[in-house]
Amino acid sequence: MQKLLATRNEEMMKRLHHYLQQRGVPVTVTEHGNQLELWVTQSSYVALAKDLIAEFKADPDGVEAELQRQAAGTDPTTAPPPNASIGRQLLQQAGIVTIAFAALVSLVFLALNTQLAMGMFEALRISDTFTDLPWQQPWRLLTPVLLHFSLLHFFFNVFWWWYLGGRFERTYGSSYLLVALVVCGVFSNVMQFMVSGPYFGGLSGVVYGLFGIALVVAWQRPGHPLFLPMGLIAFMLVWLLLGYTDLLWVSVANTAHSAGLISGLFLGIALRIIEHYKKLNNA
């Protein structure tokens, strides 16, 4: 066992003990003199317990209210009631940016399957040459994320955008999702362009960026809305590695995937740092 803290505040200890237990952390409380001591009974939970204690101290009422919302099924980051319609369930899992961008990607995909296809591709691809970045048209650094060339490609990316982007937006807000979209999209597009030229497209770099963010911000925090099960993590990483082999039946923008993941990991680290300093300021 390892002692986490000691206090004379019986009410605070009672609330904190309940909060940690609800988050799945094995803790116990003992008396020592005129103080109450909080202990974690398994050493593997120490880091998680310390994070949760910091969150609790920063906003005790807020974290308890979040637990109550989750228990009642009303928290925006949890699944809606099972009797809700599929449309309602999908909408409750996303925010305005998630929804609007998915709609835009869908409209572009439909246009790419009409006579507008060539003009659409020429307008949205990153560059008209194999060597020059579009400094005079900087939006082209991002617009390749709108391009999808097969139904499977389109559905795969929109699904993961909704799954990861929706949870990210509901947790951190629309502004943070826009930043992640731009940073991961531009970085992955530029890296892919440098390797293969302008003939590529897709949202996969952003998807892997959001995946990287989730890996970092939810690390050892199983109660976090972006916490990913190990099976999903393994699937994403195996798919990434398979892209570098000849085993897949489709052409994969491997550099965009890897660059997106790298940029997402750095954004996740930045978010953890921001959260840490917010806790310090609120302590």
pLDDT digits (tens, 9 = 90+) for 93-139: 789 999 999 999 999 999 999 999 999 999 999 999 999 999 999 99
User: CATH fold of 86-282, please?
Assistant: Rhomboid-like fold (1.20.1540)
Which tokens sit at 218? 């939810």
DSSP 25: -
According to DSSP, the residues that pair with 31 across neighbouring strands are 36
Tens digit of pLDDT for each residue in 29-45? 888 888 888 888 877 77
**Cα(107)–Cα(190) distance, integer angstroms:** 24
Does 32 participate in catalysis according to the annotation? no
Does 17 participate in catalysis according to the annotation? no
Query: In one letter, which amino acid is 226?
Result: L
**Cα(64)–Cα(147) distance, integer angstroms:** 43
Say if residues 255 and 195 touch (Cβ distance below 8 Å): yes
Domain residue ranges in the chain: 2-72, 86-282
Give domain 2-72's CATH architecture.
Answer: 2-Layer Sandwich (3.30)
How would you classify the pairing of strands 35-40 and 27-32? antiparallel
Tens digit of pLDDT for each residue in 144-186? 999 999 998 999 999 999 999 999 999 899 999 999 999 999 9
Set 204, 224, 258, 263: catalytic member: 204
Say if residues 213 and 270 touch (Cβ distance below 8 Å): no
3-state secondary structure of 33: coil
Set 127, 257, 258, 263: catalytic member: 257
